[in-house]
Structures are given as structure tokens and as C-alpha cells.
Amino acid sequence: MSATRACALSELQQDEAHRVEIDGVAIAVVLDSNGEVHAIGDVCTHGDVSLSEGFVDDDTLECWAHGSAFSLRTGRPLNLPAYEPVPVYAVTIDGDDVLIDPAVLKEL
């Protein structure tokens, strides 16, 4: 499939995660403090909780449950207890539209 409109760029709050669901795939969309938009899998790999309810710090998203911080660039957790990465999706910005195809991972 092709990229789907996930949300509006203008509805993203800087340094906050916004949860979207595309084709049943939960994705955390984050506008970082540099104005860059990231999209990573929303489900923490340590437990079945939503990462978008966590905390953005620079280019990481920290799980609220036990504190693993996931890189928004690589999806890798930077500290335990999580040790498996979350997927990182390619993001296209078209005007005010944030487009994501959950079948297309970002090239790392």
C-alpha cells in the first residue's frame, strides 16, 4: 500500500508523542525540538504499553512504565529493561500532512 495520512503536522506538539493507528499498526509520531518528525512503533518491547504515553527527551522516547528510552532515529532502547528495538517508519511531509506507510521502514 502507499503512505497514509497519519495526522496533521500542525496538530503535533513539540516534544510530545502522538499515537496514531494505520492498518491496525500503532505508531508514535513525534515532532522533536529540531522540528524533525519521527515515527516509531508505539508498543514497548518490554511490555505491552503505549510508548506515546511516555516522555520525549531530545531524540528519545522514554517508556513511562520502566524507563527504557528508545531512540527516535534507530528504534533501539538505550537502557534496560527493554533490549529489543521498535520499528522506525519512513515519514513524508506533504504540506500539513504527515504521511506514513507502516509497511515501509526508514533506512537506518
Q: Counting contacts by CB under 6 A, is residue 9 touching ligand FES? A: no
**Which residues, numbered 54-73, are part of the site for ligand FES (CB under 6 A)?**
63, 65-66, 68
Q: What Cα–Cα distance (Å) separates residue 29 from each residue in 42, 80, 81, 84?
A: 9, 22, 23, 19
3-state SS class at 52: helix
Q: Counting contacts by CB under 6 A, is residue 44 touching ligand FES? A: yes
Q: DSSP letters of 6-24?
A: EEEGGGPPBT-EEEEEETT
Of 72 and 98, CB closest to ligand FES? 72
**One residue of 5, 47, 84, 94 binding ligand FES per CB under 6 A:** 47
Contact residues toward ligand FES (CB under 6 A) are: 44, 46-47, 49, 63, 65-66, 68, 81-82
